[in-house]
Amino acid sequence: MSKPLDQNPSAVLDFQREKRIGLSEAVFCARKSPGQIANILARFEEHATSCLLTRLDQKKFNALPSPLQKQLDYDSLSSTAFFLDPNPKPHKIRVAIVSGGTSDASVCAEAARTLAFYGVTSNSFQDVGVTGLWRLLERLEEIQDYPIVITVAGMEGAIFSVLGGLIDAIIIAVPTSVSYGIGSDGELALHAALGSCAPGLVTVNIDNGYGAACSALRIINKLRIV
């Protein structure tokens, strides 16, 4: 007879991850109960280690014990929180976050908060999608000043190729689930990013602002860009 599944499994935390790869373990809160999250954070507190929480929605945050809520720097737009003060060493490099529309704001915010956790400043250029190409062209000179550009878009993801053909920055494409019908919750934008004729685009998964920021951080850390 098979052993029944543990309905409240204990997390196996990786406190050595930052030493290995330069990025500490984050707590992905989707499908975790408030009790599980609280138990995980207690372990981080025992180690006097700060952590980043992602996909922590408002309802779940409100369900956490009040004393724990007070220890969290929570941002509802990005559904992220900082537990304990990360106190990162500031980086001189800045990252641009460019979005096709304001409907992509939550994904942009997740990327920005992840960068901030590690001391990297980002600037946002929102709602510059190519349907009104003049919106992007008006900001292009500013965007060109950034060595790394996270580009966030849903629908058909056209901005990935357009921006990839206009600037020489490292471009990290984030397709989002903002779409109608055939957009299939971001799959069309994902295919556009993967199939782009603009060479050298880096692409992460749908709605993965956290992953895009981590790609930028790996580049910054490996090149020792401070």
d(CA 176, CA 44): 31
Tally of domains in the chain: 2
**Helix H or strand E encompassing 150:** strand 148-153
* Shared-domain flag, residues 142 and 63: no
In a domain, 11, yes or no: no
Do residues 160 and 128 share a domain?
yes
pLDDT at 72: 94
What is the residue-level pLDDT of the chain in tens, covering all 226 positions? 555 444 555 677 766 777 788 888 889 999 999 999 999 998 888 888 899 999 999 999 999 999 999 999 999 999 999 998 888 888 888 999 999 889 999 999 999 999 999 999 999 999 888 888 888 889 999 999 999 999 999 888 899 999 999 999 999 999 999 888 888 889 999 999 999 999 999 999 999 999 999 999 999 988 875 5
**Residue 78 and residue 98 in one domain:** no
CA dist 103 and 105 (Å) reads 5
Asked if 60 and 109 sit in the same domain, the reply is: no
Given 83, 116, 132, the domain boundary residue is 83
CA distances from 159 to 19, 99, 127, 162 (A): 36, 8, 11, 5
Say yes or no: 186 and 105 in one domain.
Answer: yes
2 belongs to a structural domain = no
Q: 3-state class of 130 per DSSP?
A: helix
Neighbours of 181 (CB within 10 A): 6
Specify the pLDDT at position 5.
Answer: 42
CATH number of the domain encompassing residue 116: 3.40.50.1970
Contact by Cβ (8 Å): 34, 63: yes
The range of the structural domain enclosing residue 56 comes to: 17-83
Residue 130 and residue 159: Cα distance in Å, rounded? 6
The per-residue pLDDT for 6 is 46
pLDDT of residue 128: 87
Q: Say how many C-beta atoms besides its own lie within 10 A of residue 209's C-beta.
A: 28
3-state secondary structure of 151: strand
The answer on 106 and 217 residing in a single domain is yes
Q: Which of 149, 185, 193 is nearest to 167 (CA)?
A: 149
